[in-house]
Structure 1
Amino acid sequence: MTTTAIELVSYKLKTNVPTEQLAEVNAAVNDFLQAQEGFYYRSMSQDDNGTYFDIVYWKDMQHAQNASDAFMQNPSCQALMAITDMDSIKMRHMTAISESMMCEQTAEA
């Protein structure tokens, strides 16, 4: 049985925040996440309405919660919060009920 936790956060940026600023902030957030115990993977996307979707995979729910607590204290993460429309944030934590992974194969020379 899997215990992987999925964190799904959707949000919009404050008006007039350039996408270049988001790219800089996200690089620092990625560094923060990669340093967290239990971190597996992060992806980010944007829909046609300007809503961003941040999806993070964690070893389990405890690691996800620990990272959420640390997130609020980290300067890089606070920089992301500073450019985010706080009223637009929706955050969920879920436990995966099914997982499948593709293993990339490399061709021999």
Structure 2
Amino acid sequence: MKHLLLLTTLFLTLTSFTQLHPEKRKSKEIIIEVTTFKIKSDIDIAAFEKRDQSTKREYTAKQPGFMKRMSGVSENGEYVVVVYWKTMANAEASMSKFMSDSSVADYMAMIDNSTMKMSRYKMLKRSR
């Protein structure tokens, strides 16, 4: 009987907590932003890759909602940058600011804009 009373009390406490704090029940939205591009043919690869890492540290990592950023390159020279954001609004705000921010203008100037593609995805709950 004591166990039943204890379980009932625990259940009622948890139920009232989630009703008072509905934000605790909602799963967090995580956005995966995938950008692919090639760099301009006259750009030094080592210089670009060094600048890519400094862009991560000095710009992207300081944006609201930033979680993680990874870069890679394929055998044919196509680069990929994958960024995880807490919300879609964070991702959109960062990219909007990025495109006009003078602190990353030299990085953007290294990229062949005609090859740039960007997509965003909501992370599936089961893959977290």
Q: Give the TM bin, normalised by the shorter chain.
A: 0.7 to 0.9
Q: After superposition, give the CA deviation of every residue in 1:36-94 in whole Å (9 maximum; x if it has no partner).
A: 01000000000111000000000010000010111012223221210111110011111
In structure 2, the gaps of 5 or more residues are: 1-26
Match of 1:74?
A: 101
Greater helix content: 2
TM-score by length of 1: 0.84
User: Is residue 69 of structure 2 the alignment partner of residue 42 of structure 1?
Assistant: yes
Kindly name which structure, 1 or 2, has the bigger radius of gyration based on alpha carbons.
Answer: 2
Match of 1:59 in 2: 86
Separation in structure 1 between the aligned mates of residue 53 and residue 82 of structure 2, nearest angstrom: 15
Correspondence for 1:9 among 35, 48, 69: 35
| Partner SS state of residue 37, structure 1 | coil
Partner of 1:3, secondary structure, is coil
1:2-49: per-residue Cα shift (whole Å, max 9, x none)?
Answer: 410111000000002111221332133111011101000000000111
Q: Does the Cα contact within 8 Å between 2:28 and 2:86 map onto a contact in 1? A: no
**Map of 1:105 onto structure 2:** none
Unaligned segments of structure 1, at least 5 residues: 101-109
How many Å separate the matches in 1 of 2:54 and 2:41?
21
- 2:48 is aligned to 22
4+ runs deviating over 6 angstroms: none
Q: Is the deviation greater in 16-25 or in 64-73?
A: 16-25
Percent identity over the alignment is 25
For normalisation by structure 2, the TM-score amounts to 0.72
